[in-house]
Structure 1
Amino acid sequence: MISRIKRINAFITLGKFITDTTNEELIADWIDAAKSKNNWFTRGNVAMSLRAIATLYLNEEQLTAWAARYPEPASSQKIGVVMAGNIPAVGFHDALSVLISGHTLLVKPSSDDEMLIRALLNALTNIEPDFKKYIHFVERLNASDAYIATGSDNTARYFHYYFAKKPNIIRKNRTSVAVLTGNESTAELKGLGKDIFQYYGLGCRNVSKIYVPDGYDFTKLYESVEDMSGDYLNHHKYFNNYEYNKSIFLVNRVPHFDNGFLLITESKSLVSAISVLHYEKYVSLREVEALIAEDEDKIQCVVGIDEVNIPGILAPGSAQQPGLSDYADSVDTMAFLSAL
C-alpha cells in the first residue's frame, strides 16, 4: 500500500497542477475533450468544476485534516465505483475517497463524463506512478470487494440486486430546494440563481423547487437573475428544453411565470424539468420544516437565509460548493471505506 502521506501529497500536487497557469493549454485540451463528448459540458462549466476540485477538495490544509479523521483500513480492498455523469467530474470525490483510503479503484465512468475522469486520474499517476497499480478502468466490476454506485432510482434497484452480497453504498436521485421568506436581498437572490442554473440544473445540488410565503411576488427573483439569460438563451440544448416545456404549459393551460428563459410553476413535486422551477406556497416556516423532513431522503441540500431555521441550511449561492465532508446522500463514504 502506498503510504498515506504519499497519497495525500500526490493529490495536493494534482490540485496545484490544475491551477498552474503553465498547464493552461493542457487543461484547455481536457475541457475541449469533455465538451466534445457532452454538449452540456460547456467550457465555462468544466473549468468551474476543475477549479472547485482543486480549491475545495485538493487544498493541502483541508485534505490533510479530512484524511486524518479516518483510520487506515485493515487491508487494501478492490472498490468498484459506478460513476454518474450529470455534471463535469462528478465522480471525482468517490475516486479521491477510495484512493486516499488506500484501496484499489475499479472505476466504471459514465460515458457522459469519461474524458475528464480519465484525464484527472492519468495526471495523478504521472505525479505518483505507484498509483498505477491502484487505478483500473473496467467494464465489469465482478472482481470488486465492495461497491459505490450512483444512478437514478431505476438503476439503484438494479445495483441493489447485483451488489447486495457485498458491502455497498448505492445512491439514488436527489435534488435540492430553497426556502424563501420575501426578505432576501438582490445579492442573495442572485446567489439563488446560481444554485438554480449552474450546470444547467443537472446536479443533485441544484435547486429545483422553492418554498415561498403565500402571496410571494416573483418579480424581484426574476429581476435578480435577468443578467444570467445570455448563457441559457444561447445554449441550444437548454433553450430547446425551455421552448418544449413552455409549449407543454401553454397547450395544457398550466399557470406559470415566464421571463424568457426560466419557467416557474406551482407543484408539489421536488424534481422539475430543465428550464423549469417548481414552487409551493406556505403559511408558516414550521409547515415547510415538516415538508422538508418528510422528504429528507430525496433532498440533497436546503438553501435559505439565516431566518430560516433548518439544520445544515446553506447560504444562497453556495449549493454548488461542497466541501470534502459534504457527502452525497449524507452517507459518509470515508467511514464506509475505512471500516472495510
Structure 2
Amino acid sequence: MKDVKSHIILIEQATKEWLQPDNADLKQAIERTVEEGLFSFEDIKFQIRSLKQKVDQGQISEWAKRAQLSEQVNAKGRKVLCLHAGNLPLVGFQDALGCVLSGANYYGKLSSKDPYLLASYLKILRAFEVENLKEYSTELSDFSDLNADKVLFAGSKESVDVVKERLVTLNAVTGSTDYIIRTAKFSMAYLENEDPQTLRDMIESVFRYGGKGCRSVAVIVSPYTLSKVKCHFTDYVEEFWLKNPQHQKPTPKLAYQFAYNKAINRDQAWLDDFLIQATDEFPSDDFTLHWVQGDVSTLKALKAKFGEAVQTVYSSGNPIEGTSTEWLSTAQSPNLWWQPDGIEVISSIIKK
C-alpha cells in the first residue's frame, strides 16, 4: 500500500469521482435498485446528495486526521470482514470507507437488499487501484477460510449469535477474531421549538427511509401535545409519503394497535400505514412514532429505560446537560465520522 498520506488522497479522489453526475456505473446501480423496488429514487438521491456534500467539504481527510492515521497509526495487513446491513440505501458506506482508509484489508459481504449501490463505489476504488480493497460479494460463503482479524457487523441483537455461528462454520473467523458489533434500533429527540424549520427537521428525522434506520427518530419527547403538531405530519404525508409507493407497506398489526388506541381514547394519528401514538412504551414495531409529552427529565428517564436500543438523542434547541446529543437537523445526514453505538469505526479497526 502507498504511504498513508497518498492513500488518503487516492481514496478521496476515487470517492469524488464516484459521486460525479456522469458516473455511468452509479447511474445504473440507482436504476436497478429502483426498478427492483429495493429503495425509492428519492431516498437514494437524498443519501447520495448528503454523502457528496460531506465529501466535498473535505470530510474524508478530516476523518483520517481525527483518527490520527499515520505511518505509525494504521491497520495495514489486518483482515477486516464487513458484514454490511441493507435496511437503508448505502448504509454500509461508512464501514467500507473507514476500513479502506484505515489501511486494513477490506472484505465486504454486501446485503442482498442493497447489492448495487455500494458495489458501484467499491468498483471505482478498484479502478483507482486502492490496494487494500480485497474482495466483496453478496454471498457469505465466498469468505470461507478467511480467518478475519476483525468483523464489523451492524444489525439486530437477535441475529448476532446466528451470524457468529455461520462465520465459525465457514472458518471465516478464528477464536481470536475481534467482533465490532452495533445493534442500536432507533433514536430519540427532544422537541422544544415549533418553528417551521424545526418541524421540518422533525418530520425528516422520522419519515426519511420509512423510519427504518437506527438514526431515525422513533420517540419524541416534547412539552407540546401530539394534537398540537398532528397537522404537520399530515401535510408531509400528502407532500411526500403517498408519492413514494416503496414506503407503503401492509401493516395489519398497526391496524389492531390503532383500534386499541381508539378504544382506550389514546391520542394518535394514522398516516397511511404509519402510526403516531401518544405513549411512552418501547417502540418495537416498524412504521411507528411514539410521542411523549414531558420535559428533559422525562427524556433522560426514557433513555435510561430503553438502554442500548437507543442510537442517538437529538435536540432541536440547546444541548441537553448530562446527555450526549446531536442537532435534530443532522439526524439523516451525519458527518462521515459519526460513531454508531458510540464506536469510532477507524479507531476500532486500528485497535489491537
Structure 1 vs Structure 2: percent identity of aligned residues?
21
Q: Which residue type is aligned with residue 309 of structure 2?
A: K
- Kept in 2, the 8 Å contact 1:87–1:199? The answer is yes
- 26 and 325 in structure 1: CA distance in 2 versus 1, 3 angstrom threshold: closer
Deviation at 1:26, TM superposition (A): 4.4
CA distance in 2, matches of 1:80, 1:333: 13
* 1:70 is aligned to 2:68: yes
From 267, 275, 279, the counterpart of 1:267: 279
C-alpha displacement of 1:196:
0.3
Counterpart contact for 2:126–2:133, Cα < 8 Å: no
- Tell me, yes or no, if the aligned pair for 1:174 and 1:299 is still in contact at 8 Å: yes
Residue 182 of structure 2 corresponds to which residue in structure 1?
Answer: 171
Find the aligned partners of 1:16 and 1:170 in 2 and give their Cα distance.
Answer: 29
CA contact (8 A) 2:81 2:106 kept: yes
CA shift for structure 1 position 156: 1.6
Report the Cα offset of residue 35 of structure 1. 2.1
User: Over residues 176-232 of structure 1, what are the superposed CA-to-partner deviations in whole Å (9 max), with x where a residue is unaligned?
Assistant: 111233x4212211110000011111111000111233x724333533661443432
TM-score by length of 1: 0.86
Residue number in structure 1 paired with 2:238: 229
Give the letter for the 1:27 counterpart.
Answer: L
Q: Structure 1's 35 and 131: CA in aligned 2 closer, same or farther, altered over 3 A? A: farther
Give 5+ residue unaligned stretches, structure 1: none
Aligned equivalents of 1:12, 1:75: Cα separation in 2: 18
Cα deviation for residue 158 of structure 1 reads 2.8
Q: Distance in 2 between matches of 1:61 and 1:3?
A: 19
Equivalent residues in 2 for 1:255-294 (5 A)? 255-258=266-269, 260-261=271-272, 262-282=274-294, 284-294=295-305
Query: Retained in 2: the 8 A contact 1:256–1:266?
Result: yes
Alpha-carbon distance in structure 2 between the residues aligned to 1:150 and 1:165: 20
Match of 1:300 among 288, 304, 311: 311
8 Å Cα contact 1:76-1:103 kept in structure 2: yes
What's the TM-score, normalizing by structure 2?
0.84
Residues 115-194 of structure 1: matches in 2 within 5 Å?
115-126=116-127, 128-131=128-131, 134-137=134-137, 139-140=140-141, 141=143, 142-143=145-146, 144-159=148-163, 162=168, 165-181=176-192, 183-194=193-204
SS at match of 1:100: helix
Q: Give yes or no for the alignment of 1:96 onto 2:105.
A: no
CA distance in 2, matches of 1:281, 1:219: 11
Q: How many residues align?
A: 333
The 3-state SS of whatever aligns with 2:248 is helix
> Shift of the alpha carbon at 1:235?
3.5
After superposition, the CA RMSD in angstroms is 2.7
Structure 1 residue identity aligned to 2:161: R
